[in-house]
């Protein structure tokens, strides 16, 4: 929902994002001059990523990358959107603390989803397993080649050309 709101009504969040946009603008420009740095566009990009990744996660298509993307967008959203430490009014500060904590809970869930292999072995395990399998296959091939060489030597009789 938040991503859709940001995508459709970025002006609503742009003023809040403006200080953050000014801080990250030099970093973004170092990466690539074409990357937009204005607050409104950054809000829209963040919203679009949230909508897209949310759909991917909800439909089960690429859930791990989708959860990782959502976690990445949630971090700046939380710090920019709920800066309870800057608020003087006690009731408003507490409400923002609740929203901040809620987002931290969501972040934890997204990190779990990003790490979840759905019962399948992890990429690391599969890679290690493939390497071990390749090593065993190479050893078998070497032993077969050594046996073939020994048999070939036995067939050669001394003094024959």
Task: Give the DSSP H/E element, type plus range, for residue 21.
Answer: helix 11-31
160: left (phi over 0), alpha (psi -120 to 50) or beta: beta
Q: What is the pLDDT of residue 111?
A: 94
Give the pLDDT of residue 98: 96
- pLDDT 10s digits, 120-156: 777 788 889 999 999 999 999 999 999 999 888 888 8
Q: What's the confidence (pLDDT) of residue 158?
A: 64
In angstroms, the CA 45 to CA 76 distance is 13
Residue-level pLDDT at 82: 92
Confirm whether pTM is higher than 0.75. Answer: no
Whole-angstrom Cα Rg for the chain:
28
- Residue 23 structure tokens: 């801080």
Chain-centroid distance of CA 35 in Å reads 20
Specify the pLDDT at position 117.
78
- Residue 14's nearest CA partner among 42, 52, 36, 37 is 42
| pLDDT of amino acid 92 | 94
DSSP structure class, residue 79: H
Instruction: Please check whether residue 77 is in contact with residue 103, taking contact to mean a CB–CB distance below 8 angstroms.
Output: yes
Could you read off the pLDDT of 77-126 as tens digits, one per residue? Answer: 999 989 999 999 999 999 999 999 999 999 999 999 998 877 777 778 88
User: pLDDT per residue over 21-72, tens digit each?
Assistant: 999 899 999 999 999 999 999 999 999 999 999 999 999 999 999 999 999 9
Predicted pLDDT at 125: 83
């Amino acid at each position: 929902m938040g991503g859709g709101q940001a995508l459709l009504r970025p002006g609503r969040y742009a003023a809040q994002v403006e200080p953050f946009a000014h801080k990250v603008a030099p970093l973004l420009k170092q990466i690539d001059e074409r990357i937009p740095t204005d607050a409104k566009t950054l809000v829209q990009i963040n919203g679009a990523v949230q909508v897209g990744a949310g759909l991917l996660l909800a439909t089960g298509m690429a859930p791990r990358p989708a959860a990782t993307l959502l976690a990445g967008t949630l971090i700046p959203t939380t710090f920019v959107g709920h800066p309870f430490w800057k608020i003087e009014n006690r009731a408003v500060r507490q409400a923002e603390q609740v929203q901040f904590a809620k987002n931290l809970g969501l972040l934890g869930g997204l990190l779990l989803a990003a790490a979840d292999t759905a019962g399948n072995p992890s990429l690391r395990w599969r890679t290690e397993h493939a390497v071990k399998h390749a090593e065993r296959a190479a050893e078998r091939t070497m032993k077969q080649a050594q046996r073939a060489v020994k048999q070939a030597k036995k067939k050669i009789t001394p003094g024959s050309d």
